[in-house]
Amino acid sequence: MTLPDHHLTQGERRVRSFHPHWKRLVGPFVALVLIAAAAGAALYFIPADWEFAFHARIATGVIGLILLTIWSFVPYLQWKNTGYVLTTHRFTISTGVLNKSTDEIPIAKVNTVSSDQTFPERLLGCGTLTVESASDRGEIVLRDIPRIQDVRTDLFRLVEDASDGTIDGR
DSSP 3-state assignment of 118? coil
How much is the pLDDT for 166?
Answer: 65
CA distances from 92 to 5, 88, 114 (A): 13, 11, 17
Kindly report the number of other CB atoms within 10 A of residue 11's CB atom: 9
DSSP 3-state assignment of 19? coil
Region 160-167: what's the mean pLDDT? Answer: 75
pLDDT reading at 167 higher than 70: no
Instruction: Tell if the pTM clears 0.75, that is, is over it.
Output: yes
CA 136 to chain centre: 23
What is the spatial distance between Cα 29 and Cα 131, in angstroms, rounded to a whole number? Answer: 30
| Arithmetic mean of pLDDT over the chain | 90
The string of pLDDT tens digits covering residues 28-68 is 999 999 999 999 999 999 999 999 999 999 999 999 999 99
pLDDT reading at 111 higher than 60: yes
How much is the pLDDT for 103?
Answer: 87
